[in-house]
Structure 1
Amino acid sequence: MALRLGLGLPQTGTYDLSGDVTAVARAADEMGYDSVWVLERIMRPEQPVDDMYLVPGLPWSGYFRSVADPLVTLSLAAAVTERVRLGSAVLVGPLHQPFLLARALGSLDAASGGRLVAGLGTGWSRDEFAAAGVDYASRGAALDELLDVCAAVWGADPAVYQGERTRFTPSAVGPKPASRIPVLLAGGNDRALRRLVRRADGWLPSLVANDQVVATRARIAELAHEHGRDPAELTITLRASVRLTDRPVDAGRSPYQGTVEQIVEDLAGAVQAGVDEVLLDQQLACRDARELIESAKLLREAATDAGL
């Protein structure tokens, strides 16, 4: 199967949300991308409790100051596209009230004709959890409950559930999704991977090298066999931060940073590592929506020419 390519939608404060989201989504649909994606960040604390991504000494990125709501962004994209799937990479599941998020996702899938892909994660920022009024220490259990609630709300009526954060008596809850919503989970530790093979349709890593994909893919296969699942059922969708340059980047080059040719080499390596889809997120490296669309077109055409 050919590598699928996704494109990150422009959500940060450098873009004009009144027109740029729809322009990029429409262009992605027309130029042959398979999907469009959003991320979730809700704030940039001036004195954060944690360093970014829990990496000691790593400061929070400036773009965290303004990131548009992911479901609003996907709704804008859904309204102007017909073919591309609509994905989240990722929604921080525990920040949301489970019933309301499950219902919103079901409505978005129905409105888009069954094109939603729900990428979820536990999150890492204690500042964000405090702002949302959610217990940080219970984030894994909160994600498990969200998955339970989604299954109940998206399934046949009457829907019913009783958990720690969510309780509802047998009820009719609609609209239902137009089709089965694929669930992808982020996270690479053993606990996250065990949850993945038990409860999800695939793994959604961000900013990882191909050798790490290979190692984690092997562990996913081991765990899948333990739980009686066929590893081939579990997809891998990689989120890549892209910076396109005119000249080759040599010393210390990070994946997906460099010329079109270098990025195509990275895509080919992802295929060899077992990746099914790569989400090319270029919004931070582009000055405006026009530049984002032009670079996305270059990469889409180069990947096609390379047989990917």
Structure 2
Amino acid sequence: MATRLGLGLPQMRQYNIGKDVPEVARTAEQIGYDSLWVFERALFPEPATQGLYGVEGLPWPDQYRNVADPLVTLTLAAAATERARLGSSVLVAPLHVPFQLAKALASLDAASGGRVVAGLGTGWSHDEYAAASVRPFAERGQVLDEVIEVCRAVWGPDPVSYDGRITKIASAVVGPKPARPIPILLAASTRKAQQRLVDHADGWLPVGMGVEQISAQWRQLQDLAAERGRTEPLQTVLRVNATYTPKAYDGADRQPFQGDVAQIVEDLVAHAEVGLDEILVELQATARDAQELKDVAAEVYEQARAAGV
């Protein structure tokens, strides 16, 4: 079966969010993309108090200065499309009040006819936690656990009740309900996070850093699932952050998914062989505007399908 392909929606400052999100979403669906995705970046600290991903000395990319809210972006896309699934890769769960996040995702799923995929993570930015989190950074794993539990409760049958550290729901009716059970996918890389995924989530949202690394992580996760007695298959969506260049990148230091469309597709072919269900192609950062994003997305899709992805 062919690998499903998704596209990242425009959220950065070179785009007109109100006009470009519906337009790109509609076009992507017409091209044949199976899903549309958003990510979350709450703010851009200046000066930076820590490096990108918490790595000392690694600068934050300039495009993170202005990133539209992920749920608003998905809502705009939902209204403009009929078929494509609507995913987050990822929502930084502890930056959201669990009950409100569960309710928003349920409403979006009901409105879109059952198309939401809830990709969650714990994030890494201390500045974002200081501005928006419901609990301190050190408690991020516990908050993610509670978000998952609250979502399952709120999306389940009424009356809903839940008694957690952050969330207290006495017996209550909570609607609308999702159109179908919303899959929860996690961006888990540590052993502890992988255990959470295997025990409590529906699937995995890795980031494409190279075929060998992804293959090793996928084998590790499958082994862990077998070890912990999981029988449900894990849904998998690989996120690839492409660095598009109009001409082929000919440096010896070329990174995965860096270069022209042919080079990006070459890497897609290699990663598709790992056997994951879906690949989300993120092209928005290096596109100048929505027109270029649509043009490059169309080329990538057509060449990937022609190459057997």
TM-score normalised over the length of structure 1: 0.97
Q: CA RMSD in A?
A: 1.2
Question: Which residue in the other structure is 1:127 paired with?
Answer: 127
Q: Answer whether contact 2:202 2:235 (CA < 8 A) is retained.
A: yes
1:205, CA displacement in angstroms? 1.4
Question: Which residue in the other structure is 1:29 paired with?
Answer: 29
Question: Which residue in the other structure is 2:75 paired with?
Answer: 75
Worse-matched range after superposition: 162-171 or 271-280: 271-280
1:241, CA displacement in angstroms? 1.3
Question: Which residue in the other structure is 2:41 paired with?
Answer: 41
Secondary structure in structure 2 of the residue aligned to 1:6: strand
State the one-letter code of the partner of 2:24. V
Provide the rounded CA distance (Å) in 2 between the counterparts of 1:124 and 1:53.
6
Question: Which residue in the other structure is 2:181 paired with?
Answer: 180
Question: Which residue in the other structure is 1:200 paired with?
Answer: 201
After TM superposition, the runs of 4+ consecutive aligned structure 1 residues lying more than 6 A away are none
Provide the rounded CA distance (Å) in 1 between the counterparts of 2:189 and 2:236.
12
Provide the rounded CA distance (Å) in 1 between the counterparts of 2:39 and 2:116.
14
Provide the rounded CA distance (Å) in 1 between the counterparts of 2:275 and 2:190.
19
Number of residue equivalences: 307
State the one-letter code of the partner of 2:280. L
Provide the rounded CA distance (Å) in 1 between the counterparts of 2:230 and 2:272.
22
Q: Answer whether contact 2:50 2:57 (CA < 8 A) is retained.
A: no
Provide the rounded CA distance (Å) in 1 between the counterparts of 2:122 and 2:95.
9
Provide the rounded CA distance (Å) in 2 between the counterparts of 1:158 and 1:270.
44
Question: Which residue in the other structure is 2:6 paired with?
Answer: 6
Give the alignment of 1:216-227 within 5 angstroms: 216-227=217-228
Unaligned segments of structure 2, at least 5 residues: none
Provide the rounded CA distance (Å) in 1 between the counterparts of 2:63 and 2:246.
24
Question: What per-residue deviation string (whole Å, max 9, x for no partner) do you get for residues 146-179 of structure 1?
Answer: 0000000000000110000000101100000001
Secondary structure in structure 2 of the residue aligned to 1:238: strand
Question: What per-residue deviation string (whole Å, max 9, x for no partner) do you get for residues 59-89 of structure 1?
Answer: 1111221100000000000001001000000
TM-score normalised over the length of structure 2: 0.97
Question: What per-residue deviation string (whole Å, max 9, x for no partner) do you get for residues 120-164 of structure 1?
Answer: 001101110000143110000000000000000000000110000
Unaligned segments of structure 1, at least 5 residues: none
Q: Answer whether contact 2:243 2:286 (CA < 8 A) is retained.
A: yes
1:261, CA displacement in angstroms? 2.1
Question: Which residue in the other structure is 2:248 paired with?
Answer: 248
Question: Which residue in the other structure is 1:109 paired with?
Answer: 109
Question: What per-residue deviation string (whole Å, max 9, x for no partner) do you get for residues 23-74 of structure 1?
Answer: 1000011110000000000100113332110112101111221100000000
Question: Which residue in the other structure is 2:85 paired with?
Answer: 85
State the one-letter code of the partner of 1:8. G
Provide the rounded CA distance (Å) in 2 between the counterparts of 1:45 and 1:304.
40
